[in-house]
Amino acid sequence: MEVRRRSRLITLAVGLCDVACAAVAFAAAVFVLRPEEQSFLEFARGNLPYFCVYILVWWGAATDQKLFSFPRESNFKRLVLSVVKSVAIALIFSGFVITFFTRHGVGREFFLAFGILALVLVLGFRVALRVFLEYARKQGFNFRRIVVVGANERSRRLLELIQSHLQYGYHVVGFVDDDPGRRKVFEPHHVEYLGNCEQLDKMLLSDVIDEVYICLPVRSHYETIRRIAFQCEGVGLPVRLVAELFPLRLARSHLSHLDDLPLLSLSTTPEALGRLAIKRILDFTVASLALLAIGWWLFPIVAILIKLDSRGPVFFKQERVGQNGRRFNIYKFRSMVADAEERKRELEALNEADGPVFKMRRDPRVTRVGSLLRKLSIDELPQFINVWLGHMSLVGPRPPIPSEVEQYTWEQRRRLSIRPGLTGLQQVSGRSDVSFEDWVAMDLAYIDEWSLMTDFHILLLTVRVVLLGKGAR
């Protein structure tokens, strides 16, 4: 309980320092950009709602990026990226919220000045804190004494990582193993052999040990691992199980809990709940703003043009396959003749696309107005309704039709593991000019490397691609 209380106090102290850095950035931005006709307090009061929303979002984003967990083994690059992502998420999301719920929003100059200052100050504080902690550990302070259980390839790799990263602050007291002949694994590393696994309980009582790392294979040493875990639990020592249980190529593992039941989760899809929640909120907000901004005037104009050009409904509704096989109806402005689906069978021999998709550069089913709508991507605008309803996201793999999914290979079905999107890597990398194999590769790369910054980048590229009309059919 004392350790947990100290950890919470450290988290609170560091979080308050982050808030103090942001407050200094806010005050500096107010001081520099304050209009002559306004006092400092008046200008600060006008931007205070944005700052309050920023702090709330920052705390959530920083927690999601694990900036308050302080793992010893985190690297510098990860720290910088986590701070940059957290600040960027807080800035952009706060800007959306203030713009949506207030009249005046936030000024562009203030937004940029505050954002740059907040990033510099918070990043500077975090880097200084990391440098101080690493220096203290290299000097012999704040280090953890550990015992390694098992002499094998796993433990050798663990030892090499520890000895090559002194800034982690780990000191290996020695190792235990039931076979003394395996000590040769550690001979190049000059680590002491402490005896067999049965003697570990005596070491825990007589020596200063902070953590125990178990590198034994679970299948053949289950009882030994269970006994050691029980012993460590009895004296309150953390046990780390080096668990390379399955030779998976892409899945990332993490421990979660269902009530009090521990679960080892293996997943290739993003499971950062905080960032996924922010992504959904952004989807809902942008879709709402888009429908309010253009729906009341553009939709009627497009509807009239479609009706004047050809017979049939204004909207085209088609069943698509969403996340994990969920079916939903996608909405578009009709850009083809009313019986386009029936006539598709007659044109299948002229398909110009590879894989289980159908594409034609000069599809005779496309109407004159439909050709213009496709060129400008206006036919896709009703899909903001799907985004608003939660069927789709702004960014993600495009949703396929059921007949296409039936032809997918096992690995291609991984495209369906996340919510489909209005735009994606394929749309900003050639749109219809991309082969199906490259299309799938881009979608899988997006899933594996997903981040909110990637979504923002793709959205910006989408605007450019739509304006240029590149690759549209």
Which of 256-260, 381-385, 442-446 is predicted most confidently? 381-385
Q: What gap in Å lies between CA 447 and CA 417, rounded to an integer? A: 8
Q: Higher-confidence residue: 341 or 55?
A: 55
pLDDT at 365: 93
Distances (CA, A) of 419 to 111, 316, 348, 387: 31, 21, 29, 10
Number of neighbours of residue 197 by Cβ within 10 angstroms? 20
Q: Mean pLDDT over residues 310-325, rounded?
A: 93
In the chain, the amino acid numbered 17 is: C
Lowest-pLDDT choice from 63-77, 273-287, 370-384:
63-77
Report the DSSP beta bridge partners of residue 213: 148, 240
The string of pLDDT tens digits covering residues 69-113 is 766 656 778 888 889 988 988 888 888 777 766 666 678 888 889
pLDDT at 105: 67
Q: Mean pLDDT over residues 176-182, rounded?
A: 85
Report DSSP state, residue 255.
Answer: E
Q: Note the CATH number of domain 144-245.
A: 3.40.50.720
Buried b (16+ CB within 10 A) or exposed e, 133-153: bbeebeeeeebbebbbbbbee
> Domain ranges in the chain?
2-138, 144-245, 273-468
Show the DSSP H helices in 400-470 as ranges.
402-405, 436-448, 452-468
Q: Which two tokens stand for residue 141?
A: 């302070």
- Determine the straight-line distance between the first and last CA of the chain, rounded to whole angstroms: 63
Lowest-pLDDT choice from 99-103, 134-138, 187-191, 327-331:
99-103
pTM score of the predicted model: 0.64
The string of pLDDT tens digits covering residues 103-154 is 666 788 888 899 999 999 999 999 998 888 878 777 767 778 889 998 888 8
